[in-house]
Amino acid sequence: MASLNTARLEARRVHRVHRAISRPLTILGAERKLFFFAMCLGAGTFNLLNSLLGGILIFALLYALARWATQSDPQILRFLLTAARVRPRYDPMKFTPVEVRRESHAQAEPNL
């Protein structure tokens, strides 16, 4: 019985994972959220300024930025959004010493 249990533990499990599961979801090479952000800002610029050229220019600029961010690091959006919420950590290299001065002639007021 013991040898059967050890044989089961030693058996290697193989789990098939499809490539589409670990690949980020993109639209035209940019992450979905970044693409829709660029599209909404382009549409907002078009509505605000009544300029089709301005809307297309803003969309194209943000779309190029979104494609670059997706190609360099697909999780960059998650890092940027959580960085604003997370409290900064203590960095000892940025420590500025505080000067404390002790005056020996100071006296406390007597309690009456």
Can you give the pLDDT at residue 14?
A: 77
Question: Could you give the angle at which helices 76-85 and 52-72 cross, rounded to 10 degrees?
Answer: 90
Q: How many angstroms separate the CA atoms of 90 and 7, rounded?
A: 50
DSSP 22: H
Tokens of 9: 């533990």
Of these ranges, 50-59, 82-91, 92-101, the one predicted with the greatest mean pLDDT is 50-59
Q: How many angstroms separate the CA atoms of 93 and 74, rounded?
A: 31
Domain ranges of the chain: 38-75
Spatial contact of 80 and 74, defined as CB atoms under 8 Å apart: no
DSSP 98: P
For the question of whether the overall pTM of this predicted structure is more than 0.85, the answer is no
